[in-house]
Structure 1
Amino acid sequence: MTPISQTARPIAPWIGGKRNLAKRICAIIDADQAHKTYAEPFVGMGGVFLRRTSRPRAEFINDRSRDVYNLFRVLQEHYVAFLDLLRFQITTQANFERLVQVDPVTLTDMQRAARFLFLQRAAFGGKVSGRTFGLSRDRPARFNLTTLEPDLEALHSRLSGVCVTCLDFTDFIRRIDHKETLFYLDPPYWGCEGYYGRALFSRERFEDMATQLGTLKGRFIMSLNDTPGVREVFRGFEIKEISTVYTAASSGPKAAAEVLIMNFKPG
């Protein structure tokens, strides 16, 4: 394991992000000194990936969302040009609503990455599907390159040597699985399958996931909301109850119950 001297942080909000749980999850991951490969099939904005304090020999991050994959890849390979493009972006509701209507397929990779980053930072609650413009009386504009640039630079550096892919989780797990691999899975939560975009995930995929994880050579940690359906589908694994707070609701912070599902007992 190599200590990470300067950790990066997520550059945009993400619905289902792990800000409130990251320390507890990362403590389990960082305590595991046996794995030589670390992999995340549903990386999102990297709420756990970026908060770890040590890195093994190999790291893989994946997301089926083309926008997520494209943003990380552009930050890896075209950071300077991407930063120049962002300098012309301003936070206005009119610009937000215009970009929501743009089909990302019609854009270049850098334009698509800039669009996605702006929308995620400006949208209420980090929503992906059904975005609305976020306003707050007690904070500055949500897209401010002056304060964002250091985070982009840190993320660009952190992604050095990381393999980024855009695969279905089953293909990703199959390719990376090994007895020395540790997976962290953060799939869409039960009942929230459509929040990240249509056709990316469905309720039925949890059964596929449980079957595949049951034959895993490596080890895994997965976070999900605590529901009867989750407990039934993943009943064959170690399930640990944890409490957290959801902050995306317009009514304010709300206590919530979640579970960590594993195929091993952490020390």
Structure 2
Amino acid sequence: MPNDAQLRDVLNTQPPAAWIGGKRTLAPRLVQRISQTPHNIYAEPFVGMGGVFFRRRRVPRTEVINDRNGEVVNLFRILQRHYPQFMDTLKFQITSRKEFARLKACDPATLTDLERAARFLYLQKLAFGGKVSGQTFGVDTSRDARFNLNRLAPLLEDVHERLSGVVIENLDWAAFIDRYDRPETLFYLDPPYFGNEDDYGKALFGPEQFELMAEKLSGIRGSFIVSINDVQPIRKIFREFTFAEAELNYSVGGGKGTPARELIITSFGR
């Protein structure tokens, strides 16, 4: 069990780009739950753009993040290890629908890792609603250009510093849990919403995975927190665990938003 001497303060960093299902509204509540849960290892199998990871303020010595999306992992590894070179790659980029279309059509396999990371960040910053799959060019007439390096550079520098010492993996979520499960590990899982599994790319995660997840979590040595949309199939699949309900608004691209309900599922009281 950790005590305050084993935790360190870190900068409250913002994610480098929008991400569909990025947990901006729910993050404060999740961060509070995480901070109240004893752990010496923090591990995220579905980190995305780090909507919860980066907003934590006190962290243990060991942190591990993971995503099956290789573009996410490449971006974070580049920001962690090659930050100055990455900023040089971004230097002359502008907000342009034509450039968005060109980069979207480009095969990332033909690019260097630096170029891949720059392409991915550019598309993610400009995609409507932070979409990952089926991206379209987003327009917001209430603000300046969405890809503005003057504003982006300080944020990326914060991300670079925050990632120092963090282990970055590119594994299937179940293999990740097997690798890092310890009695002192806290897993925070933010899987795709039930019914929206293809939002992050086809074949990365299917609806059958939720049954496997509940089974896997029932046998781990560590503890866990899962955030997921509140629907009856999820309540049935995870029925042996503890539920906390959260009411919030889902919004896309800065729209008004619609009322929604989410579940925070934990191993406590099991």
- TM-score band by shorter chain is over 0.9
Alignment of 1:144-159 (within 5 A): 144-159=148-163
Percent identity at matched positions? 53
Task: Please state if 1:74 is matched with 2:78.
Answer: yes
1:28 alignment counterpart: 33
Identify the range of structure 1 (78-87 vs 230-239) with the bigger mean alpha-carbon deviation: 230-239
Task: Please state if 1:206 is matched with 2:183.
Answer: no
Matched residue of 1:183: which SS? strand
Question: Of 247, 252, 258, which aligns to 1:243?
Answer: 247
Aligned length: 265
Cα separation, 2, equivalents of 1:97 and 1:53: 37
| Structure 1 residues 188-217: Cα deviation after superposition (integer angstroms, max 9, x where no partner) | 000110000111111111111111001010
1:96 alignment counterpart: 100
Cα separation, 2, equivalents of 1:255 and 1:249: 16
Task: Please state if 1:133 is matched with 2:137.
Answer: yes
Matched-pair contact (CA < 8 Å) for 1:190–1:224? yes
Cα separation, 1, equivalents of 2:254 and 2:60: 39
Task: Please state if 1:184 is matched with 2:188.
Answer: yes
Amino acid at match of 2:81: E
Cα separation, 2, equivalents of 1:233 and 1:250: 32
Give the deviation of 1:5 after TM superposition. Answer: 4.1
Q: Which runs of 4+ in 1 moved over 3 A?
A: none
1:172 alignment counterpart: 176
TM-score scaled by length of structure 1: 0.97
Alignment of 1:100-115 (within 5 A): 100-115=104-119
1:224 alignment counterpart: 228
Task: Please state if 1:8 is matched with 2:13.
Answer: yes
RMSD, aligned CA: 1.3
Cα separation, 2, equivalents of 1:64 and 1:252: 31
2:200 alignment counterpart: 196
For structure 1, which runs of at least 5 residues remain unmatched after alignment?
none
Give the deviation of 1:247 after TM superposition. Answer: 1.0
Cα separation, 2, equivalents of 1:26 and 1:250: 23
Cα separation, 2, equivalents of 1:50 and 1:157: 11
